Homo-oligomer: A and B are copies of this chain.
């Protein structure tokens, strides 16, 4: 039986209309080298309309990809709304990737126009000639555009593009399942893979962020998205803020602890989001500079890698700021889980749950599966690869037929862990790093943490290496502290009461430093290949 409800689509234009109409006096504040510049949501609506008219003059029509190569600022926000609302597709390029990756991504997505902040022109200019489908570059900000024009592309200044354009745009009715925005994942293996968010997924994800079990973004909140707008929609906050009527505080390129703390003191955000590294820097800065006040923050979303309990407790007790872990990835729009414990638990349980990656949000269905695709119980004990499905979860990659990341309609996240009966997720490994020993899984991360609890150990990385009998066994690569010493036997004994007996590594190597990737994570691929090349001195140690 059909319902009698209106067939009304969920679109980015709907969010834009709501925010710019009913919250027209809310602010967008962008950090400058010295001070800030401001506009209102009303003005944002006007300028988004002008940008859409300008883009249309540049030949942008339905489904055309409009790329951005920008920091978090007002113009990036204008593009966030104008491109999807006019029926085009916003494509946020990650300015931190290697040049060849950026070129590959722009070509794969067939970007047509690129908006670029003048401050990152030196990064883009050398790549432009490789961007085959890009015909026009829009320069945002003041300064010399010679480096762009020499690429042979058409170059337009952003302000001139908007100047004199009509201040209203008749946003078209778009199919809610059509693409609104694209983002590529930068996996450590293979080419980057593209995700195309729909209007529907963007709308639903934004609503989810506004629910009380997620971030509960509300009218009058002031949001500071430190996580870049080129990373999975800045965790959806630009869209959620317009939905809620929350001010947006844009840090632009000023992402060091000192300007961030100054911005927090001066602009008094209530909500912020960033990766743990940034909050670690902020914490160190606050400790080194007593008397600074960041207490306006009621909720700080933190994710991307594990957040230490120590940091969360220190922020909460010393600075009155709740840091809350969230879990997700580009493929999940990104928010899929938030680590908010139920109000009735005791303090120990509270912190144990705060230490998890998060609790699954309504709208995301979650399960774990073993290597053979068997679904395992969410009992807080079984460990498997986490799989998710739902209306803001990726179903396939753009122009990529590889089905290996999907399982019966569920996304295989590549994260390995446990789910407790209340939906709290504990991550134990990345799927590619888990050690498969005789049909059982060993968590490389948990082994590392246990080894690093030994007082003589500075760092330890554990990887799986081939083993004739067990298929794979752990290799522990350990960095001992200066003026300390530890033998393999000692470390193995140290682990005895911490992990299961079959987890105990037989192979140990003592190295000067754990090799790291460009973003500071342990480079386990390199460790495995060095082991294969016999580049390490390996100590064998068994009982």
Cross-chain contact A3 with B213 (CB below 8 angstroms): no
Decide yes or no whether A4 CB sits under 8 A from chain B. yes
User: Using an 8 Å CB-CB cutoff, how does the interface string of A339-372 with B read, 1 for contact, 0 for none?
Assistant: 0101110000000000000011011010000000
User: Does B344 contact A220, Cβ atoms closer than 8 Å?
Assistant: yes
Known: A212-B212, A362-B18, A421-B24. A3 touches B217 (CB 8 A): no
| A63 to B6 Cα, complex, angstroms | 19
Q: Determine how close the nearest CB of chain B comes to the CB of A19; give it in whole angstroms.
A: 8
8 A Cβ contacts from A1-48 to B: 1-10, 14-15, 17-18, 21-25
A199-223 interface bits toward B, Cβ cutoff 8 Å, 1 = contact, 0 = none: 1110010011011110011111000
A360 to B216: give the CA distance in the assembly, Å.
17
* A198–chain B nearest beta-carbon distance, Å: 3
Determine the main DSSP class of A at the interface with B: loop
Place the interface of chain A in its size category: 35 or more
A319 proximity list for chain B (CB < 8 A)? none
Surface stretch bound by B, among A51-59, A388-396, A470-478, A522-530: A388-396
Q: Which residue of chain B lies nearest to A8 when distances are taken between CB atoms in the complex?
A: B391
| Interface residue ranges of A367-415 to B (CB < 8 Å) | 378, 389-398, 409, 411
**A196 contacts partner chain B, Cβ-Cβ < 8 Å:** yes
Question: How many Å lie between the Cα of A219 and that of B362 in the bound state?
Answer: 11
Query: For residues 321 through 348 of chain A, which have their beta carbon under 8 Å from a beta carbon of chain B?
Result: 333, 340, 342-344
Is the C-beta of A423 less than 8 angstroms from some C-beta in chain B? yes
Interchain CB contact under 8 A, B220 and A343: yes
Q: Which residues of B contact A197 (CB under 8 A)?
A: 3, 5
A243 is an interface residue with CB less than 8 A from chain B: yes
Q: Within the assembled complex, what's the spacing in Å between the Cα atoms of A131 and B29?
A: 63
- The interface residues of chain B lying within 8 Å CB-to-CB of A219 are 213, 340, 342-343
Q: Hey, what's the 0/1 contact readout for A416-428 against B, CB within 8 Å counting as 1?
A: 0000011100000
Contacting pair A196 B362 (CB below 8 A)? no
Tell me the minimal C-beta distance from A207 to chain B in angstroms.
Answer: 5
Q: Does A194 contact B (CB under 8 A)?
A: yes
Q: Which chain A residues numbered 195 to 253 have a C-beta less than 8 Å away from chain B?
A: 195-201, 204, 207-208, 210-213, 216-220, 243-245
Kindly state whether residue A180 has any CB partner on chain B within 8 Å. yes
Q: Say if the beta carbon of A178 comes within 8 Å of chain B.
A: yes
Q: Any chain B CB within 8 A of the CB of A442?
A: no
- Docked CA distance A399–B260 (Å): 59
Given the contacts A177-B7, A201-B3, A211 and B244 also touching, CB distance less than 8 Å = yes
A155: Cβ under 8 A from any B Cβ: no
With A207-B208, A213-B244, A244-B211 as contacts: A5 and B391 at CB distance below 8 Å: yes
Chain B residues, Cβ within 8 Å of A85: none
- Chain B: minimal CB distance from A89 (Å): 6
Q: How far is the CA of A8 from the CA of B2 in the complex (A)?
A: 18
List 5 A-B pairs, minimum CB-CB distance, nearest first: A3-B198, A22-B423, A212-B218, A1-B63, A6-B395
